[in-house]
Structure 1
C-alpha cells in the first residue's frame, strides 16, 4: 500500500510530491469581480509551502451566470489572468502541483451577483430558468474556455466540479431532470453533460494538462447505483487523470439502507480504474485516517478542514503517526496559518465549533 509521503504519477502532467492534496475550499477572499487578492494568494501559497502535493483553489466560476457567492474566485474572463498567473507561479515555486476547480452554480448561483439563474429545469423556488439545448452547450464551452485560460495562466490542471448540487450535478438529479432533449430523462442522458464537459476541456487544453472531476456519491437527487455507474464510465474512459469523490464523511456508510452493509468508500475503490487515480475527501483529520484511506485502496486524499487548521498538514502526517488536527482554535491560530479576515469571519460564522467563541477577530 502507498504511504502519504510517496509521490504520485498521473497519466498526464507533473508528478505530485506526495499523496495529500488540498481540497477546494470556499474562502470568500476574492475581489467582487473574481480577481485574486493578496489574502487568497497568501492562503494558498502557504499550503504549497507547507508541503501539500497538489494545491487546488476554491470553486472558480466559469460564467457570470454561475457566480455563486461574494468573494468567489473567477476564471471566466481574461481580467482574471494576472491574478491566476501570479498564483500559479507561487505554487510552482513552492513545489506543489496546482489546479483550479471550475464551477457553475446553476440554480444555486447568487441572484445579487447575476441577473439570470439557470438550471436544467425551470425552478420557481430559486427563480431559475431552464437552459435550452444550445444553452447547455454554451455552458460546456464556458468550462472549456475557462480551462484554456487557466492553462495560459500556468496552472498544471483543472478540476471539473460535478458535485454538491451545483449546475453539473443538477443534471444528475433523477428526481427533477426530466428534460426531453439528450441531457435529461435516462441516466445516460443525465450523465451526458459530464462526459461532454470533460471532452471539451480535454480538447481545449494541452496533452500534459491534468484534468480531474469531482462527484458526489449520494444526495442532491443522486442515488448510489447511478453515482457508481457514472464513476465507472469516467474511470473506464480515461479522459480524466483523477476522480475526486467528495464523501462529506469518508468513513460513513451509504444513506441507502440496502447498501448500508459496508462503508461508502468501498463502493468506489472496487471499481476498475486503470491508470486514472482515485481521491477522496471528507473529515480526514489525522495521520491514521490518511493511512486508512490509502490502505483501503485510494490513491490520494484531499484535506479540507485539516488544511485550514495546519498549512503543513502533510508534513505533520508524515512525521507523527499519532497526529490529529483538532478544533476549535482561537482566531490567533488561524491568522498565524494565513487565514485572512474574510475567510476567518466565514469560518467563525458558518462553521460550528471551529473558531473559539468570542475570538473571531
Structure 2
C-alpha cells in the first residue's frame, strides 16, 4: 500500500495524501500585498492536480517585513478577502490550504533600512538591529497575521524560520551577536522564535509547522545537532511538524543532489520525536514513497517539480501503480486513457 497516497490527520485536519506543495515565492501580488487572480490560477491548478496540502509562498506579517513590493502580505484586514477567495478555490478542489508567515529581515531588497538581529550588513548594505520594543512588535505581528489567516479559512500555518530571513538571523551564531536575552547561548538565540511560536499558538489551535535551515554549511554556524535541540523545544511548544530545508544564510550555495536534505528530516524525526517534512530535489513518486516507507519523514514537500508539472500527484501515482481521484469534470477523459 502506498504511503504517499495514504491520508494523514494533524490536529483534526485530514490531508488526503502526503504530498505538500512547498512555498515558492512568485512576486505576483499587488503592491498592497493582496493576492491576485494569478494566485487563484497558479494554486488552483495544483489543487486540481490533487496535491494534498498547498502552502502559499512567504507572506509578510508586517509591511516592512517584505523583501519586494510584490510579496503577499497579511499585515492588514484588507488582505483577508482575496485570501479567503483563494482558500475557497483550494477547498473546492480537494486540497487543504496552508500559508507561510514570514519576515524578510536583513534580506529585504526594497528601499528602507532592513531589520536584523544584530545590525550586521548583508551584501554590503547596512541593517538595523531590532530593539526589544521592535522585537515585541514583530512577535505581535506574527500573532495578528495568524488571526487573519484563521479568518481567511487556512487549515495550516507555517512559520518561516529558514534561509537567512529574520528568524534564522536570530537563530544563527553567524549573524546573532546580541548581548541581551535574545542572543548568546543556543537558548538565547532561540528566544525570538520561542516567543513567536507562543504568540501564534495563543491565537491558532490548528496544525502549526516551522521551516528551518537544518544545516548552515559553516563550522561556526548551526548544524543538525543544534536543530535537533531546537526541534525538541518546538515540540514542547506544540509545534506539529518541522519542515527540513537548509542553507540560505550565507552567500555560498551547498552542493545539491536528489534528496540531499532528507537526512535532516530523518534525524530530527528520530531524535527530537517530532513529525517532519522532507524537501529538496524530490522529483519522483518512487523517491517520495521510499522516504515515507523508511520512516525518514511524515510528509514530502515538492517544489520546482510542481511548477513543471501541476499534475505531479498523477505522475507519481502512475509510477507507484496507484489510482487516485481525478477532478470530476475530467472523469470521462483523464485517467481511463
TM-score range, shorter chain: 0.7 to 0.9
Contact kept? 1:251, 1:265, Cα under 8 Å: no
In the TM superposition, what are the counterparts of 1:117-266 in structure 2 within 5 Å? 117-124=114-121, 125-205=124-204, 207=205, 209-219=206-216, 221-235=221-235, 237=236, 239-247=238-246, 251-252=259-260, 263-266=263-266
TM superposition shift of 1:269: 3.2
Residue in structure 2 matched with residue 8 of structure 1 by the alignment: 8
Runs of 4+ in 1 over 3 A off after TM superposition: 247-250, 263-266
Residue in structure 1 matched with residue 252 of structure 2 by the alignment: none
Contact kept? 2:68, 2:110, Cα under 8 Å: no
User: 1:284-305: CA deviations, max 9, x gaps?
Assistant: 0001210121123111100001
The farther-off stretch of 159-168 and 121-130 is: 121-130
Q: Distance in 2 between matches of 1:2 and 1:191?
A: 37
Q: Report the 3-state secondary structure (helix = DSSP H, G, I; strand = E; otherwise coil) of the residue aligned with 1:280.
A: strand
Residue in structure 2 matched with residue 29 of structure 1 by the alignment: 28
Q: Which runs of 5+ in 2 are unaligned?
A: 247-255, 323-337
Q: Distance in 2 between matches of 1:210 and 1:64?
A: 25
Residue in structure 2 matched with residue 82 of structure 1 by the alignment: 81
Residue in structure 2 matched with residue 281 of structure 1 by the alignment: 279
Q: Which runs of 5+ in 1 are unaligned?
A: 255-262, 324-361
Q: Distance in 2 between matches of 1:19 and 1:141?
A: 32
Contact kept? 1:13, 1:156, Cα under 8 Å: no
Alignment RMSD: 2.1
Contact kept? 1:286, 1:322, Cα under 8 Å: no
TM superposition shift of 1:272: 4.2
TM superposition shift of 1:195: 1.7
User: 1:174-229: CA deviations, max 9, x gaps?
Assistant: 12312121110100110111121111101022x3x221111111117332221221
Contact kept? 2:47, 2:54, Cα under 8 Å: yes
Q: Distance in 2 between matches of 1:245 and 1:210?
A: 16
Contact kept? 2:68, 2:108, Cα under 8 Å: yes
TM superposition shift of 1:31: 1.1
Q: Report the 3-state secondary structure (helix = DSSP H, G, I; strand = E; otherwise coil) of the residue aligned with 2:72.
A: coil
Residue in structure 1 matched with residue 332 of structure 2 by the alignment: none
Q: Distance in 1 between matches of 2:119 and 2:298?
A: 39
Contact kept? 2:229, 2:272, Cα under 8 Å: no
Q: Distance in 2 between matches of 1:223 and 1:232?
A: 15
Q: Distance in 1 between matches of 2:49 and 2:261?
A: 32
User: 1:132-176: CA deviations, max 9, x gaps?
Assistant: 112112111101100100110111121000001100000011123
TM superposition shift of 1:109: 1.1
TM superposition shift of 1:268: 2.1
TM superposition shift of 1:250: 6.3
**Are positions 1:290 and 2:285 aligned together?**
no
Q: Distance in 1 between matches of 2:264 and 2:257?
A: 9
Q: Distance in 1 between matches of 2:110 and 2:71?
A: 14
